[in-house]
Structure 1
Amino acid sequence: MTDEPQPRTARYQRLEEDAGERLDRQWIELLQELRLAQTGTQILFAFLLGIAFTNVFEDADAFTHTVYACTLVASALATGLFLAPVSLHRIVFQRKVRDKMIPIAAKMTVGGLVILIVAISGGLLLVLDVALNRTAAIVIVAVVVAWFVVFWYVLPTWVRRANEAAE
């Protein structure tokens, strides 16, 4: 037995799914991805909501208040985009538009992920600005943003292009 993956075409030939089954599978996969993203985003949002009511926050400078406001809004927007496919599905349910709904929901999810990077980075900056000096906090957050971009966008894009070139 070998650990080498089966050729891509052989795997998909065995599936032999029709268009409806493919759409159902794609929708289920998207929902699984959204469950993961929604949970983390909602926890971050709840954490951020609590910060504004602390004494330490009241004494913070304008930079901290601005970062907080931007982070809170980004977190709300990301949450909205991760929940939008649910609303879309409810409104178009049984209208036979799944072939149109899935690409729209996928774009909402990608948009939510982009905004989630902003929200996570802002939350990290808020905490690191307290723990470290501001310059160090900003540098670390910039490195974290680059890390997210590499692993969430550059690597997947590279894999996608390499796969397209191999086909």
Structure 2
Amino acid sequence: MSPSHERGREDGWGRHETPEERADRRWTDLLQELRVAQTGVQILFGFLLAVVFQPRFADLSDTDRAIYVVTVMFGSATAGALIGPVSYHRLLTGRRMKPQTVIWASRLTVIGLILLFCTMCSALLLILRVALHNALALWLVGGMALWFLICWFVFPARALARSHDRHEK
């Protein structure tokens, strides 16, 4: 048997890993990504929670209050999704389920990124509506939403497509 068969199959990207080694590597990578995202989300969520206790909160219009409630709910859901992989790991550790854990934790992280997109856009909408008092706020949020989509999803999808094209040739 060749050394590559002893170590596991190649994953198509030049690595020779067993499924367990691949899961360990992917889990470590995921944890690093989550540390960055979780910190930002927790800080944002903390600021959102404090807004309701500010004196000017009583002066917000019904629309702005509704945007605030939606933003807090998105922030809460985002925190839950991005902290969720920790629970997966803790509850499933030692049960020989790491490859499955990594898959589900990765999916939960993508859901968290989508919720973070919603949280950021709604928080910007609230802030810009209060700051600008005009329709420009909606246009600015739309532009920023497009920027988030490009940075978070379009660039990675484009890189993935190019990578697949190179590997198919």
TM-score normalized by the length of structure 1: 0.89
Give the percent of matched residue pairs that are identical in Structure 1 and Structure 2. 35
Contact 2:74 2:116 in 1 (8 A): yes
Task: Give the CA deviation at 1:125.
Answer: 1.6
Count of residues in Structure 1 that have an aligned counterpart in Structure 2: 156
Computed over aligned residues only, the root mean square deviation of the Cα atoms, in angstroms, reads 1.4
Match of 2:133 in 1: 133
Q: Deviations along 1:105-158, whole A, 9 cap, x unmatched?
A: 001000000000111111112221122133111110011001111111111111
Q: What is the distance in 1 between the residues matched to 2:20 and 2:148?
A: 34
Q: What is the distance in 1 between the residues matched to 2:53 and 2:75?
A: 17
Task: Give the CA deviation at 1:161.
Answer: 1.1
Within 5 Å, give how 1:6-45 maps onto structure 2.
Answer: 13=14, 16-45=16-45
**Segments of 4+ in structure 1 off by > 3 A?**
none
Match of 1:157 in 2: 157
Q: What is the distance in 1 between the residues matched to 2:148 and 2:115?
A: 12
Q: What is the distance in 2 between the residues matched to 1:73 and 1:134?
A: 25
* Structure 1 unaligned residues grouped into runs of 5+: 1-8
TM-score normalized by the length of structure 2: 0.88
Q: Deviations along 1:72-106, whole A, 9 cap, x unmatched?
A: 00000000000101111111110000111101000
Match of 1:147 in 2: 147
Q: What is the distance in 2 between the residues matched to 1:106 and 1:97?
A: 14
**Amino acid corresponding to residue 42 of structure 2 in structure 1:** Q
Q: What is the distance in 2 between the residues matched to 1:159 and 1:134?
A: 38
Q: What is the distance in 1 between the residues matched to 2:98 and 2:16?
A: 19
Match of 1:107 in 2: 107
